[in-house]
Structures are given as C-alpha cells and as structure tokens.
C-alpha cells in the first residue's frame, strides 16, 4: 500500500466513524468500536487521523457492518419482490464510503478496470474506480454512434427476450484485470453477460460484486462462470 492509498484508507475510516457518530454518543461509539472515546473525538473532529492498522480495522469490520445496516434501511421491496434501491444508487457520498469497504473487506485483487452495465451500476462502479485509481467502463444496450469496434455479449433471457450489451473494444485491453460490479444481483443474467465481455476481451476477472443480492440464484450462477471471489454487501 503506497502513501496515497494509506491516506485514503485513513480518511475513509474517519468518514465511517462520523457516520456512526450521527446516532451515537462518544461513549456509545467507544463501546461499539472498542476504541477510547478521546481518540474517537479527535478522529471525528479531524484533529488527527487513525493509524493505518486501526483505520483498516474500522473500514473492514465496523464499516462493513455499519454500511450493510444502512443499506438495509434504504432498501424497499414491493409485494412482488421488486427491489427499489434508488435511495442508495443516487447517493454518491454513501457509495464513496462503500468503495473502501469493498476494496479492503473482500478478497478482490486490485483491478485495472471496474466493469458494470448501464445504468444503475454506474455510480457504484465510479466510486470503486475512483478509490482504486483505475478506469470505469460500462456496457450499454445500444451501440455508440462514433465507436467502430465493440465487444458484444448476447443472451436469451428466461422471459424469451434477447438481451445484448455492447462495450467499446478499446475499454478493456487483453490481460487486464476486471472487477465486475452492479447494484443488484438477482438472476445473474447481467453478471453473466459482463463476464462474457471480460472473456471476449481476454481479461482476467478480479471478482464479482453487488451491493444487494436478491436470493442466491445470481450468486450461484456467477460462481458457475468464474473462480474469482464473489460477494454482496447485503441480501434480501
């Protein structure tokens, strides 16, 4: 971890502590974290940054649990099982907190490209790409007019509809590492198409991540397509 990455981790730890402090006193926060209340006061008020080891502990352990609970509180599921997560995917500051938790709390190798599908996965992918300091690429259901070469992935869905995603061929180079992300994984069809794109590009898969897993079908389907780590922050 270089100095810039250490600083980013320390700042994200402070962001997590500030989020937790919104609903707790310092004594309650100390009980939650196991850290001295005086130290927490200095961290939250920006007087000093936590050390690297302490920052990693906050982000990986406290951050993951706290963000999962916050995400659960934002999710709405209707009577037919459809998930509304607009309160999350429209909240860039929240997703900026999620990024270091994903990067440090899951077993993903550092990618060269973060790949998603338009449109709801873009804000999450942008946060992760910014944290890693890498490119963000997103596949679309239509071709861009000015682009000449595309990677194409096509699949007939269970409903009988044929779904096709297109990605400019220049977005991923052969041999690069790709982290596939999306806001939601349900059937795994979108993730399968994105993995097909990565395979066609001759890229390595660093992992597959979703904010929300709706059931286990999508996770299992992704596992059938890659040996890379697969994870979600929460499930419904």
What pLDDT sits at residue 120? 93
Residue 59 CB partners (closer than 8 Å, separation 6+): 9, 12, 13, 16, 100, 101, 104, 105
Q: Beta strand pairing status for 83-84 and 113-117?
A: unpaired
CA gap 181, 211 in Å, rounded: 8
Q: What is the pLDDT of residue 76?
A: 94
pLDDT value of residue 59: 87
Amino acid 89: pLDDT? 95
For residue 28, the model assigns a pLDDT of 93
Give me the pLDDT at residue 87, please.
Answer: 92
**Phi, psi (5° rounding) for residue 142?**
-140, 160
- For residues 78 and 80, give the distance between their C-alpha atoms in angstroms, rounded to a whole number: 5
Measured distance CA(159)–CA(167) in Å, rounded: 24
Provide, for the chain, the percentages of residues in helix, strand and coil under a 3-state DSSP scheme, each rounded to the nearest 5.
Answer: 45, 25, 30
Cα–Cα distance measured from residue 51 to residue 164, given in angstroms and rounded to the nearest whole number: 47
Distance (Å, whole) CA 30 – CA 53? 17
CA distance 155 to 196: 10
Q: According to the model, what pLDDT value does residue 185 have?
A: 97
What is the pTM assigned to this prediction? 0.86
Residue 169: what pLDDT? 97
Segments in the chain below pLDDT 70: none
Q: What is the pLDDT of residue 198?
A: 98
CA distance 226 to 18: 37
pLDDT (0 to 100) of residue 161? 84
Nearest CA to 59 among 5, 112, 116, 115? Answer: 5
> HSE of 138 in the Cβ direction (CA atoms, 13 Å)?
18
């Amino acid at each position: 971890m270089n100095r810039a990455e250490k600083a980013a981790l320390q700042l994200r730890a402070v962001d997590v502590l500030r989020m937790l402090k919104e609903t707790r006193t310092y004594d309650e926060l100390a009980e939650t974290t196991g850290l001295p209340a005086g130290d927490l006061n200095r961290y939250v008020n920006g007087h000093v940054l936590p050390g690297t080891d302490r920052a990693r502990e906050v982000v990986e352990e406290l951050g993951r649990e706290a963000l999962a609970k916050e995400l659960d509180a934002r999710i709405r599921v209707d009577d037919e099982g459809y998930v509304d997560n607009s309160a999350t995917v429209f909240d860039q500051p929240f997703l900026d907190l999620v990024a270091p938790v994903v990067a440090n709390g899951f077993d993903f190798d550092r990618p060269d490209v973060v790949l998603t599908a338009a449109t709801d996965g873009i804000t999450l992918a942008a946060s992760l790409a910014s944290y890693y300091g890498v490119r963000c690429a997103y596949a679309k259901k239509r071709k861009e007019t000015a682009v000449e070469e595309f990677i194409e992935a096509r699949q007939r869905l269970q409903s009988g509809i044929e779904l096709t995603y297109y990605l400019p061929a220049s977005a991923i180079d052969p041999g690069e590492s790709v982290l596939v992300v999306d806001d939601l994984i349900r059937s795994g069809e979108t993730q399968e198409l994105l993995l097909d794109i990565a395979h066609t590009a001759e890229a390595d898969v660093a992992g597959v991540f979703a904010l929300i897993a709706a059931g286990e079908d999508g996770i299992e389907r992704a596992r059938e397509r890659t040996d890379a780590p697969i994870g979600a922050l929460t499930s419904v």
